[in-house]
Chain A
């Protein structure tokens, strides 16, 4: 028989076409609207997992997101294997395949369960105490073994093929939770015209109305009212209803994180649909209607499959039409559990007994239970259970002493009361207050614009709850700027009784007992563990938590925290608020990394910036390198060439004829205004006032501390306009640095800064033939050496488009840099390239650029400098305006350390064996025979093979470097000691004659 525990005509699911699914390879059927849990229960399956530490058989504790036990793997395909899915949350779809976790070889027979027999060994703090010695064994032996035995599901081993979406949203009122309170609040708020978002983690809103079948609101059954209300809300333009959406994080200034599960419930999701969508909502007001979570009773062997929360059994019955057993007992310390027994009894399910730990429970529900013929045992406790893979027998005894009784059962429902779900309130930094009368933590002091309504606010009575929520919804809408709606009294009633309940160990689980009465199911923490923690000196709940791991599993102790706290408080003899409550942290329930990452993966992980000539370079076979977000052509290998050969050829060609280089990524800043020169004087070490229009200067920028921050060539375009260039990587920070000083230190200057990095494509043509190559394309500019000497800039046209032409050189050759508006870059490049070909020029990349500049001893900021190098250290004292009264860094440069003798200075290094190319970053020593650790006197900053010099060359920062010219120093490498001579930083064309052709 299929689904033997599904009761005909009961519940709200459609009995239509059954859905097929498997659990551990075995086939079952369920109904549309089932969760995996309800479908398994319909088939009489309670055993679904093994516990984390003791491998004890476990079933379903709950019917919702608080589930600690029923964690399974959902396997859609090879890449989609999601571990640790709560079976009570996973909706059933046709073809669903679920597997149990943490068992071997099978769920029913698990070798790891030996841990259960050894449980006395594995007491709280066991790991801390046991595996301390020898230290090395922890990494190699203990930890790997423990990790194999413990842990839950396995992480997927393939890249996630799903995609995830993100949405920012704003609203006036965000309501979290669509139970009766949330619905009432949303209703009141939306009627004012406020923009409302209503989010609920369930597929269908209704909250407690799912199980509370006896509820009536506004003359309808509670469930019908909820469905109609949701439909009304969803139909409104100013309301967005999000189902399957969990409010998981409450951040600053009413920023709420919601995660919407879009496809996990579908058999064949639309491939364009994201699996999940992260909602980042900024709400003017937040209404928390997050309900309450039922607690279990802490009694011996309270973790067997078939033992579950009373309201959950009621949900399975009233919503899913499933009886969780044929003969059921109830163990409670409060009234609402009676409703479960009553509902089940009315549907013909056998109720063995209601065991109530209270001496004399008084409630209409108690009377009704008795009237239905249910055996109510007041003042009794469950002192034990039997049943290996499912609860089979319950042992009951009067608390005051007396004969034991046994009941044959196949399920046991428990409830010790309800814990208001104050997680989000607490995350909002609100202060919780302990309510002595009802023994609950309730929202106290609010620090954000939020309000709690209904059960999470401690208001359990249905009529009070919906009216409190309606009033709150109206109030927050008014606070958000809308007219308050007409006050009205909502009519509501429910037969479900509410009472205070208890927290902590049940009677019979006294200190000293060796019985396992579980507090935290997911981390296998018992009452005994918590007591032991206190005995061993833990005084605060924060200590107890870390010592025992209670509340630290993925369910974050939703069902267990209050029990743990109550047991600790009893042991300490202090009231609960003095022992404290652990902090609630996001996420409320687990959130996938995918949801948090959203679109930011693959090619959308980070912007990839390409220059206008990128595709051309790619077609030429260029090898690219990443420079910040940019892709830059590193070298252009011809057939058969490796990087070494390509760079050797490119560097030779530049010096013999010419090379063409894409310098578009250089940062560019237009400095404009009557005070432009004054501003430049302040930002750079160099003098600028007297720089003529049409002239360029190499500038150095310091930080306040006197160290080099950036460098670049600056051209004066007009009296009030400079064209500043920066390093590629420095572009954004240099602009920010300038803007920062302009706005905070020099706000009186009439000057403005505009990034033009991407306005211009920059084509560098360098080499003896550079002028001939560009000449045919240049209009309106005399590019003769006389009219346009080195370090000059002219405006004119190149290839018929407006251009800024610079005569500058980062190679030591005669060179030009053509700046044209970026969209023309490719076209101009192609023209120059075609002309260059006639002269035997080549395209060259960043690697050759680096070699050529190193041959000339030109520094690269970030390579020769590391944030501790002054202009003098780098041999650039000449670039400091000696007569200048002020510039950023001028005082820094006078600091004693920066003018002291013995600073590291930039020098050249030539290896004695010219074939050896030193490693960049290698350390340098003076005496190769000194004992290790040797005194390191500097390091290699740049090192290349120079085909133009026919040998290796290197730059290095060395203590007193400039005083060591000609000295032999040593570079210790793993396999040899390399000898090198200190030289000038200039290796090629020392007099600089080639600049001028």
Chain B
């Protein structure tokens, strides 16, 4: 039998550390796109071990697992521990759709004092802590790419994008990060 396939990460070896900003690819995680009507939330929340948020821009987090509200019936569930989210959801009888997107998306950790300025180089949202507090999440744009922004600390964001857009998103973050400070 042939050897088991190895993973190749799209941003392998890329990172940037500058004045007030660092960029690093996040480690692998399991992810699902979860779609469900309101009636199913209780059952899904119980199975996932966290309360699926129902307010725009909200997220819920428990240990290595987080659920980000993306739309009225849509969540991005991320498990940094690599749990089999598809199997967990498969056990739920309540109406829903779970699709594995662990490899479709990847994440870049953007952190540092200048994090808002760097993200605002290409993301038009108001990222002040008052408007986009720790835990806030939103599907939005970064330049010409779609991203999911998730604030994981005052000075830290988790930026999700599709695999083939990672080079562009990282490149644009890098360009914005290298810009002389303002």
Q: Which residues of A contact B (CB under 8 A)?
A: 163, 165-170, 195, 262, 270, 272-274, 277, 280, 282, 599-600, 603-604, 606-612, 629-630, 670, 672-674, 750-752, 754-760, 776-777, 779, 798-801, 820-828, 831
A607-B168, A759-B101, A824-B7 are known; give 20 further A-B pairs, CB within 8 A: A163-B175, A168-B120, A273-B179, A599-B121, A607-B145, A607-B164, A607-B167, A608-B167, A754-B35, A754-B97, A758-B104, A758-B105, A758-B163, A799-B5, A800-B3, A820-B5, A823-B7, A825-B8, A827-B6, A831-B2
Question: A672–B101 Cα gap in the complex (Å)?
Answer: 14
CB distance from B113 to the nearest CB of A (A): 13
Do residues A612 and B97 form an inter-chain contact, with CB atoms below 8 A?
Answer: no
**CB contact under 8 A between A758 and B2, given known A600-B144, A752-B35:** no
Q: Are B176 and A599 in contact (CB under 8 A)?
A: yes
Are A831 and B101 in contact, with the CB atoms below 8 A?
no
State in angstroms the CA–CA spacing of A606 and B145 once bound together: 9
Q: Mostly helix, strand, loop or mixed at chain A's interface?
A: mixed
Contact B95 A674 (CB under 8 A): yes
- 16 A-B pairs with C-beta separation under 8 A: A165-B179, A167-B182, A273-B180, A606-B144, A607-B168, A751-B97, A755-B104, A756-B99, A757-B162, A758-B105, A758-B163, A759-B100, A759-B102, A777-B2, A799-B5, A827-B6
B117 at the interface (CB under 8 A from A): yes
Decide: B126 and A823 in contact? CB cutoff 8 A.
Answer: no
Q: How far does the Cβ of B37 sit from chain A's closest Cβ, in whole Å?
A: 8
| B62 at interface by CB-CB < 8 Å | no
Q: Nearest chain A CB to B119's CB is how many angstroms away? A: 9
In the assembled complex, how far is the CB of residue B165 from the closest CB belonging to chain A, in whole angstroms? 5
Q: Is the CB of B180 within 8 A of A167?
A: no
Option from B28, B104, B120, B172 in Cβ contact (under 8 Å) with A759: B104
The answer on a CB contact under 8 Å between A821 and B2 is no
Shortest C-beta distance, A913 to chain B (Å), equals 44
B138 within 8 A of A: no
Interface code B119-135, partner A: CB below 8 Å = 1, 0 otherwise?
A: 01111111010010000
Chain A residues near B162 (CB-CB < 8 A): 757-758
**Across the interface, which residues of B come within 8 angstroms of A798, CB to CB?**
5
Q: Name the residue of chain B whose CB is nearest to the CB of A800.
A: B4
Residues of A within 8 A of B35 (CB): 672, 752, 754
Given contacts A168-B123, A752-B35, contact A801 B101 (CB under 8 A): no
A827 and B7 contact, Cβ closer than 8 Å, known pairs A672-B99, A756-B99 = yes
* CB atoms of A824 and B6 under 8 A apart: yes
User: In the assembled complex, how far is the CB of residue A335 from the closest CB belonging to chain B, in whole angstroms?
Assistant: 42
Instruction: Give the distance in Å from the alpha carbon of A820 to the alpha carbon of B102 in the complex.
Output: 12
Q: Residues of A contacting B28 with CB < 8 Å?
A: 823
Asked if B167 and A610 sit within 8 Å, CB to CB, the answer is yes
A827 to B144, CA, bound (A): 30
Query: A599 contacts B101, CB within 8 Å?
Result: no
Select A826's contact among B8, B120, B175, beta carbons within 8 Å. B8
Min Cβ gap A600→B in Å is 7
Task: Choose one: A165, A674, A820, A823; the contact of B176 (CB below 8 Å).
Answer: A165
Interface membership of B112, Cβ < 8 A = no
Residues B165 and A609 in contact, CB atoms below 8 Å apart: yes
Q: In whole Å, how far is A607's beta carbon from the nearest beta carbon of chain B? A: 4
B contact residues around A760 at 8 Å (CB): 103
Give B79 Cβ to nearest chain A Cβ, in Å: 15
Q: Which residues of B contact A823 (CB under 8 A)?
A: 7-10, 28, 103, 163
Contact-size category for B: 35 or more
Contact A831 B97 (CB under 8 A): no
* B53 interface contact, C-beta 8 A: no
Chain B residues with Cβ under 8 A from A167's Cβ? 117, 120-121, 182
Chain A residues contacting B169 (CB-CB under 8 Å) are: 607
Given A754-B97, A823-B28, A831-B2, residue A607 in contact with residue B126 (CB < 8 A)? no
Is B59's CB within 8 Å of the partner chain A? no
Contact A610 B179 (CB under 8 A): no
Q: Does B178 contact A (CB under 8 A)?
A: yes
Task: Tell whether, in the assembled complex, residue B171 and residue A604 are in contact, meaning their CB atoms are under 8 Å apart.
Answer: yes
**Contact in complex: A827, B104 (CB < 8 Å):** no
Residues of B within 8 A of A599 (CB): 121-122, 143, 172, 175-176
CB distance from A259 to the nearest CB of B (A): 14
Q: Top 7 nearest A-B pairs by Cβ distance?
A: A800-B4, A609-B164, A607-B168, A273-B180, A752-B35, A672-B97, A752-B97
Does B143 contact A604, Cβ atoms closer than 8 Å?
yes
B97 & A603 in contact (Cβ 8 Å cutoff):
no
Q: Is there contact, CB below 8 Å, between A799 and B2?
A: yes
Closest to B118 in A: A167
Residues of chain A within 8 A (CB-CB) of B123 are: 168
Let me know if B33 is at the binding interface, CB within 8 A.
yes
When distances are taken between beta carbons in the complex, the residues of chain A under 8 Å from B144 are 600, 606-607
Q: Which of B163, B164, B171 contacts A603 (CB 8 A)?
A: B171
Q: Which residues of B contact A168 (CB under 8 A)?
A: 120-125
Which residues from chain A contact B128 at a C-beta distance below 8 Å? Answer: 170, 195
Q: Per-residue CB proximity of B36-69 to A under 8 Å, as 1/0?
A: 0000000000000000000000000000000000
Would B164 and A274 count as touching, CB distance under 8 A? no
Distance in Å: Cβ of B18 to nearest Cβ of chain A: 9
> Across the interface, which residues of B come within 8 angstroms of A777, CB to CB?
2
Asked whether A673 lies within 8 Å of B97 as measured between CB atoms, the reply is: yes
User: Which chain B positions have C-beta within 8 A of A799?
Assistant: 2-5
Binary interface encoding of chain B residues 139-178 relative to chain A, with 1 for a CB under 8 A from any of its CBs, else 0: 0000111000000000000000011110111011001101
